[in-house]
Amino acid sequence: AQSVAQPEDQVNVAEGNPLTVKCTYSVSGNPYLFWYVQYPNRGLQFLLKYITGDNLVKGSYGFEAEFNKSQTSFHLKKPSALVSDSALYFCAVRAPNSGGYQKVTFGTGTKLQVIP
């Protein structure tokens, strides 16, 4: 079975400071990892994904994530937070052999609050 853990329900960061949202995963085989962002009363917006290759993945809106196989982590980062980054962030994992379908397992989400 595959699973995702987002250990922090909420992360507070001052505007302009770097931010990190943590994610760890458990899956059989090499994982495919995703980050999505959700604004209030909206669907999920895709930020970035790791499939293979370079452990540092760059995505939308200046976000990046670092894949660490030994720590089974995929933390989301941004060098300088904006107030508009305040939202709910979801990490998700998909196993490479998903039986031909795309069951994605999401974490419970981390609320990011950027303080002006």
Residues in contact with another protein by CB under 8 A are 4, 32, 34, 36, 41-46, 49, 51, 90, 92, 94-109
Between 84 and 98, CB nearer to another protein: 98
CB of 84 to another protein, least distance (A): 19
Closest CA to 29 of 59, 69, 67: 69
CB of 65 to another protein, least distance (A): 14
Between 81 and 107, CB nearer to another protein: 107
> Please, are residues 50 and 57 in contact by the beta-carbon 8 Å criterion?
yes
Q: How many CB atoms lie within 10 A of CB 20?
A: 14
Give the rounded distance of the alpha carbon of 2 from its chain centre.
Answer: 16
CB of 15 to another protein, least distance (A): 26
Closest CA to 69 of 52, 45, 46: 52
Between 17 and 113, CB nearer to another protein: 113
> Please, are residues 59 and 66 in contact by the beta-carbon 8 Å criterion?
no
Between 40 and 116, CB nearer to another protein: 40
Phi, psi angle pair for 43, to nearest 5°: -75, -175
CB of 29 to another protein, least distance (A): 10
